[in-house]
Amino acid sequence: MIDRPTIFALSSGAPPAGVGVIRVSGPAAQAALEALAGRVPEPRRASLARLRDAEGSLLDEALVLWFPGPATATGEDLAEFHCHGGRAVIVAVERALVSLPGVRRAEPGEFTRRAFANGRIDLAEAEGLADLLSAETELQRAAALANAGGVLSRQVDLWRDRVLGLSAEVEGVLDFSDEEDSAELPESFTWNIAALAEELTGWLGRPRSERLGEGFRVVLAGPPNAGKSTLFNALVESEAAITSPIAGTTRDVIERSVAIAGVPFTFVDTAGLREVEGADPIEAIGIDRARDALARADAVLWLGAEGEGPQGAWEVAAQSDRTDFAPKSRANFTLSATTGDGVSALKDALVEAARGALPKPGEAALNARQHARLSDAAEALVSAQCLSDPLLVAEELRRARVAFDQLIGRATTEDMLDTLFGRFCIGK
């Protein structure tokens, strides 16, 4: 076997924190324990140890754990140092580790990659873990965790078993019709296919996992000086900024991604667009962009005159602190971004709306690849219902099984190779 470097990383939150957990995975994990703690503790038992560097200086007093491979999270030998969470302590322990032969700092996602390469997790779980690593909000984390924990894989296995059962019924008719037992398909057969197809369609209608990355898109719209930018700033300023995968689509539209109560949002300020309305063709492009922004919005906050906003927009009566304030008769929200009055009520409503539109915490969400495979399966089941030749029914059921296999990586297909060698850079 090719000897691979041993990797380590701080797997708890950024210091300073109460505890700093440093994980070490690879063939030199045991040597790392011996070097720092002076001994290898009993497997899977926490024990207290004094950590020292090569010169013998005391670094920390820490809990150490030893997990011999292959039955570990990464499939390799694994060591954990639960140190005190101060920045200096962590840096010192990391420096001691990096000085050991064959040990280096892990690249992002490398632990996952090893778990996948070592057969500890399947494709869907690995994708979940990859999402988990890039998760910046609580909601993203919960959804990724569901996939990483195998929720989707288990569900697919159940579907696959049901299709296998249906296939067995058709095959009975095809291969044993010369025997008496199974000449005809039972009446329940088509009904069972329909029920399964409907279940898949339900899953396909669920919010996709990419939605978590994009966040809930909220567009602020209205005429100039309606208070859009002030409200925009009030909504995003105090919140944690997150990296949006589609930030800065145009110069004319200002986007900012933040997490509110653990839910990812992208706020879009269309400031500057309304001023050019009815202007020359070049400027009209800006209007198209505004329309485009509106079309892709999950919610539009309309700050203009009542009833003049896009259909379904939330009527916001802004600038309630001003003397020339024009209240709306059917305002969803009345607020002042300057004083902060009513802003938190708006945020609460946005969070609630977003929770409904984004994947639910703990519920497995499908990414584009998984969605495509599941669509294949659903499509095959739908056409199986309309076929009378059991031979073709069997072929459609087989197609559905192939799609399920591809979904969780049971089939060794290009689909899987792409995911494998693209996303995980395996083979380096």
Q: Which residues bind another protein (CB under 8 A)?
A: 1-2, 69-70, 75-76, 115-123, 125-126, 153, 167, 171, 174-181, 389-392, 394-395, 398-399, 402, 405, 408-417, 420, 426-427
Distance spanning both ends of the chain, measured CA to CA: 15
Q: Which is nearer to another protein, 76 or 110 (CB)?
A: 76
Amino acid identity for residue 131 in this structure: D
Q: Which is nearer to another protein, 239 or 376 (CB)?
A: 376
In whole angstroms, give the CA distance from residue 229 to residue 225: 8
Cross-strand partners of 172:
none
Q: How far is the CB of 10 from another protein (least distance, A)?
A: 24
DSSP 117-149: HTTSS-HHHHHHHHHHHH--SHHHHHHHHHHHT
Residues 6+ apart with CB under 8 A from 414: none
Phi (first) and psi of residue 151, to 5 degrees: -60, -50
- How many CB atoms sit inside 10 A of residue 305's CB? 13
Q: How far is the CB of 265 from another protein (least distance, A)?
A: 35
Q: Which is nearer to another protein, 84 or 160 (CB)?
A: 160
Residues 6+ apart with CB under 8 A from 314: 299, 300, 301, 302, 332, 333, 349
Q: How far is the CB of 111 from another protein (least distance, A)?
A: 13
In whole angstroms, give the CA distance from residue 21 to residue 15: 10
**Three-state DSSP state, 363:** coil
What's the chain's length in residues?
428
DSSP 42-67: PTT--EEEEEE-TT--EEEEEEEEEE
Q: Which is nearer to another protein, 75 or 213 (CB)?
A: 75
Q: How far is the CB of 292 from another protein (least distance, A)?
A: 34
Q: How far is the CB of 220 from another protein (least distance, A)?
A: 45
Q: Which is nearer to another protein, 261 or 411 (CB)?
A: 411
In whole angstroms, give the CA distance from residue 320 to residue 331: 12
Q: Which is nearer to another protein, 93 or 170 (CB)?
A: 170
In whole angstroms, give the CA distance from residue 33 to residue 41: 8
Q: How far is the CB of 406 from another protein (least distance, A)?
A: 9
Q: Which is nearer to another protein, 10 or 115 (CB)?
A: 115
Residues 6+ apart with CB under 8 A from 371: 204, 208
Q: How far is the CB of 153 from another protein (least distance, A)?
A: 8
Q: How far is the CB of 403 from another protein (least distance, A)?
A: 10
Q: How far is the CB of 119 from another protein (least distance, A)?
A: 3
Residue 64 CA, distance from chain mean position: 32
Q: Which is nearer to another protein, 183 or 240 (CB)?
A: 183
Q: Which is nearer to another protein, 71 or 345 (CB)?
A: 71
